[in-house]
Amino acid sequence: MIKLTRIDDRLVHGQVAFTWTPALGIDCLLVANDKLAGDEFQKMALGLAKPAGVTLLIRTVREAAAFLNDTKSQGYKILVLIDSVKDAHALSQEVPAIRSVNVGGIRAKEGATLLSKAVALTGDDVLLARELLGQGIELEVRQVPTDKKQMLEKLLPS
């Protein structure tokens, strides 16, 4: 069962390990990322950051969708981690169970506009976010579970 789908360009780190995982009772972290799925060194590094007793799976976006749609995944309490709006969009198109996406952190980069203290989106990100919103998918901004939800829709440029 998907407990949370989170966009965070740092993927597995302290906020995920020490706040989100215990707050949601997570027993499986699923990183959906095409590049990392083929990088054994990065997979090992992320494995060092995962909380003890939690399964870490690192899959391509397509493989992650297949896992999430498989009934065998229903026994897990899953935190899905993706590092971009593009991958969130792709994954949500394949996984009907994704109805809400937490936007936890997307660092500023060239061409991006800072929308909150931890979220900066490019024009392409904004277009994809608006498409997700149009499909009825909630996009909320929070870094940690105790933060008040901010709806991304209200932060997007007009």
Give me the active site residues, please: 13
Burial status of residue 10 (CB atoms within 10 A of its CB: 0-12, 13-18, 19 or more): middle
What separation in angstroms does the CA of 37 have from each of 31, 81, 90, 122?
Answer: 8, 13, 16, 25
Closest CA to 49 of 78, 19, 2, 16: 16
DSSP state of 118: T
- 């008040």: which residue's tokens? 148
Closest CA to 142 of 157, 152, 132: 152
Angle at 152 between CA 74 and CA 116, to 5 degrees: 115
Please provide the distance, in angstroms rounded to a whole number, between the alpha carbons at the two ends of the chain.
35
